[in-house]
Amino acid sequence: MLAVPFALFLLWRHGTSTARSTCSRAASYLAVVFLLVLAALTGFRLWYFGYPLPNTYYAKVSPSLIYNLTGGFEYFVEFLSSGIVVGAGTALLLIFLLLLAARRRLPSVSSPDSPNRCNYPHFVSFTFLLLILPVLTGGDHFAMSRFFQPVFPMLCLALTLFVIEMRQSALRFGAFLSRYGAASLFLLALLDCLLFAWGNGASLADWRWESPIDNEFRIAEKGIALGHRLNSLFTELPVKPGVAVIPAGGIARSYTGPIIDLLGLNDTRFAHYQGSREGMKGHASFEKELFFSIAPDILIGVPPGPDKGSRFTNDTLKGLLVDQAFARQYCYGSLSRTGTVGVQLTSFFSRRFLASVEESGVASFSETMQFDGTTYVKVGVSDQILAPRY
């Protein structure tokens, strides 16, 4: 929404500075199309969510600028260290910026302008805008730096422009790169692939089997399967219970009852709640006060244990599972459908909901772990964490 107007302005600016009316007209036509699309999307969001910006913006972006800049800078450093092309391309952008500043202040370092020289300030400024925007919004928690992916071809272009610029120079170094530029770029690209594959623990050819983001797709598949299981478990209930989840995309496609999206990506109550939105990157919109006011019947998750995987739910929910108020209202165990073998769910259940379900005879509950004030212990056996079964 911010990058497109800036790009159109640069196109219009280029047209006016070079007396090319075609560029100016194209920028005007594209601006009209952009405004129409923006108006349509904004109207849809106002109709569906009641707010002008995407719901994910309210859910993920903290109101604290310092917090966003800190997380965004870490995200930027992670992107810079992801490969040679990224690091070299960003360094060349800085060199372009310094050279442009030097040519303005020191006429002695100026060189004859080429037909494309006037494009360089536009190119550098637009690329830096693409780099700055994710930093201002706090970055992202997904692997492979998705917010910076539009920058990658621009960085490759920076390498190409560098070779072109050196070709027009009389310097020996420029002549060397001019002669061997293609081979140098090929070697750099090959080295980048090798280092990137080594850094991710898998070769590029194996990414179809072992991608850094493969788990994100598996989460959706597990959510769909969980929704079908819930439908089978509560098929005899006239009103399906409300289920609170962290990843809501998969289960919302299959479960026929109400879903409470604790991250607020699809729930305006959490997205617009007046909290700090500080915590786990991209998962910080959850607030305990709102959770207790909603009081969902079921919370999908596992008690926090020694391993990182079991701590995810509690860390994302800002210590909710070890809160005394939560322990009084919810218990962890297995709920099984009466008279049906294998249809069960192990998770956190509201004591109020369990009382109504057991009274109806639809399902029976067995508590498997209890909170002793500091940690969860297995009921009647030992102080160990039970592995999740969903």
Residue 228 near residue 234 (C-beta atoms within 8 A): no
Reading the block at residue 335, the tokens are 């709920």
Q: Starting at the edge strand that comes first in sequence, how are the strands of the sheet with 330-337 ordered?
A: 259-261, 243-245, 298-299, 344-350, 330-337, 363-371, 376-378
In 3-state terms, what secondary structure has residue 2? coil
From first to last of its 390 residues, the chain has per-residue pLDDT tens of 778 887 878 777 777 766 667 777 888 888 899 999 999 999 998 998 888 988 888 888 888 889 889 989 999 988 887 776 777 778 777 777 777 666 666 555 444 455 445 466 777 888 888 889 999 988 888 878 889 988 888 888 877 777 666 665 545 555 555 666 667 677 767 766 666 655 555 444 455 566 777 777 788 889 999 999 999 999 888 889 999 999 888 899 999 999 999 998 888 888 888 877 787 777 788 899 999 999 999 999 999 987 777 788 899 999 999 999 999 999 999 999 887 777 899 999 999 999 999 888 888 899 999 998 888 998 865 444 444 443
Global pTM value: 0.73
Residue 389 lies in a domain: no
* Per-residue pLDDT tens digits for 277-295: 787 777 788 899 999 999 9
Do residues 80 and 42 both lie within one domain? Answer: no
Domain count, the chain: 3
Residue 215 lies in a domain: no
- The pLDDT value recorded for residue 204 is 46
Do residues 299 and 165 both lie within one domain? Answer: no
- The pLDDT value recorded for residue 230 is 94
Residue 17 lies in a domain: yes
Do residues 255 and 190 both lie within one domain? Answer: no
Report d(CA 295, CA 291) in Å as an integer.
6
Do residues 190 and 229 both lie within one domain? Answer: no
Residue 379 near residue 332 (C-beta atoms within 8 A): no
Do residues 374 and 234 both lie within one domain? Answer: yes
Reading the block at residue 270, the tokens are 């959490």
- The pLDDT value recorded for residue 224 is 93
Which of 175, 206, 237 terminates a domain? The answer is 206
Q: Is 264 exposed, middle or buried (0-12, 13-18, 19+ CB in 10 A)?
A: buried
Task: Give the helix/strand (H/E) hosting 376.
Answer: strand 376-378
Do residues 133 and 169 both lie within one domain? Answer: yes
Report d(CA 227, CA 256) in Å as an integer.
8
* Per-residue pLDDT tens digits for 5-33: 878 787 777 777 666 677 778 888 888 99
Report d(CA 305, CA 384) in Å as an integer.
8
Residue 352 lies in a domain: yes
Domain that holds residue 259: 223-378
